[in-house]
Amino acid sequence: MPPIYLDYNATTPLDPAVIAAMQPYIATHYGNPSSAHVYGRTAKEGVDRARAQVAEILGCTPDEVIFTGGGSESNNTVLKGVAWTYRHKGDHIITSAVEHPAIIAPCQFLERQGLRVTYLPVDGTGQVDPDDVRRAITPQTILISIMHANNEVGTLQPIADISRIAREHGVLLHTDAAQSVGKIPTLVDELGVDFLSVAGHKVYAPKGIGALYIRAGTALEPLIHGAGHEFGRRAGTENVIFDVALGKACEVAKMDLPRYQHEVRYLRDLFWQELHKRFGERIVLNGHPEQRLPNTLHVNFRGVIGAELLDKMPELAASTGSACHAGEIALSAVLKAMQIPPELGMGAVRFSLGRYTTRDEVEQAVELIERTF
């Protein structure tokens, strides 16, 4: 039997409907969407339909969505694009200490170019205080970039509250929604954002495809220059196969969202209840107890190293933190920012459930952990 997969925050398998949607564009519809003949028109129709499907889950218009090579490219496009486009207005960016490396690394790059970046602290649950955002804003602030949901502990950030503050000061707002799209509502007008990043492989589409929402009327210098693809915002011949895949993945995710939120949260909570019943004070929950992704359970096992615990359970696929940190034993930057004591945080394990997780798998995982810990 294959290992029980509880690492959906790292990546997701392709949904069968996504695989089916890709097939015609792999085998038959190979035209360039920029070509005027029937092959090109067929490919363009596929891209247009996919763009509309992504727009639907975000609650925006299709011309506000551009396809990218993934969440990291979407994030880099916003951070570097805003820094370049609005350099005449200011040189200050606000973000948080618990962002994904796809935000932190571009911010560090921009700092080397002379920009100033404020990394806001978080509380013990991993949340940013909107009042800290307000206090950090200066006349030189051009962008606030705060993730929607943390990839490690699952904590949700108060994006709508931060949006109101950004609007008061005329500052653009971006959110990295790689972990939240398809798990919780991500309607851009409810969130109040100007930019929102999507990662395909977190929503049952392939790796190597993403999307970026750019609010209509917002100027942004492209990260990749060339011909006028993606409304002139991202050059390069469209990846039709993967665009179609992401579109279908978003369509399926939107339809499945009510079931997902109810059933996956139930299994996540059952998992925690069973672990707590067996281990009591020897296990500690990380992240916000309520404002958290419905699929994410991040815990500290006292007295062990999380990576070593997982090594003893090859029958269970989970993570010691973000997939980008997998294999490292050092305390993650997220747990450090949450001020988790090192002796406790060393026992951190992230279990992330998904669309195909079953109750039987959860119960087997609990039994396996009990035998191993």
Q: Could you read off the pLDDT of 10-19 as tens digits, one per residue?
A: 999 999 999 9
Task: Based on the fold, state whether residues 232 and 277 are members of the same structural domain.
Answer: no
d(CA 117, CA 96): 10
Q: Could you read off the pLDDT of 332-362 as tens digits, one per residue?
A: 999 999 999 988 999 999 999 999 999 999 9
In this prediction the pTM is: 0.96
Task: Based on the fold, state whether residues 293 and 161 are members of the same structural domain.
Answer: no
Task: Based on the fold, state whether residues 262 and 202 are members of the same structural domain.
Answer: no
Task: Based on the fold, state whether residues 247 and 275 are members of the same structural domain.
Answer: no
Task: Based on the fold, state whether residues 180 and 49 are members of the same structural domain.
Answer: yes
CATH of the domain at 366: 3.90.1150.10
Mean pLDDT of 1-7: 95
Q: Could you read off the pLDDT of 254-275 as tens digits, one per residue?
A: 999 999 999 999 999 999 999 9
CATH of the domain at 200: 3.40.640.10
Task: Based on the fold, state whether residues 89 and 143 are members of the same structural domain.
Answer: yes
Task: Based on the fold, state whether residues 243 and 131 are members of the same structural domain.
Answer: yes
Instruction: Single out the residue in 187, 222, 253 at which a domain terminates.
Output: 253
- Structural domain range at position 113: 16-253
The crossing angle, in degrees rounded to 10, of helices 240-279 and 16-27 is 160
Asked if residue 166 lies in contact with residue 136, where contact means CB atoms within 8 angstroms, the answer is no
Identify the burial level of 217 via C-beta atoms within 10 angstroms of its C-beta, where 0-12 means exposed, 13-18 middle and 19 or more buried: exposed
Task: Based on the fold, state whether residues 205 and 344 are members of the same structural domain.
Answer: no
User: Which residues belong to the active site?
Assistant: 324
Task: Based on the fold, state whether residues 292 and 160 are members of the same structural domain.
Answer: no
d(CA 238, CA 33): 7
pLDDT at residue 216, rounded to an integer: 98
Task: Based on the fold, state whether residues 203 and 99 are members of the same structural domain.
Answer: yes
- Name beta bridge partners: 120: 96
> Is 323 a residue whose pLDDT tops 90?
no
Mean pLDDT of the chain: 96
Q: How many independent structural domains does the chain possess?
A: 2
Task: Based on the fold, state whether residues 307 and 335 are members of the same structural domain.
Answer: yes
Instruction: Single out the residue in 232, 253, 274 at which a domain terminates.
Output: 253
Give the residue from 109, 103, 112, 110 showing the smallest Cα distance to 120.
Answer: 103
Lowest-confidence segment of 87-101, 111-125, 176-190, 335-349 by average pLDDT: 335-349
Task: Based on the fold, state whether residues 162 and 283 are members of the same structural domain.
Answer: no
Instruction: Single out the residue in 209, 237, 253 at which a domain terminates.
Output: 253
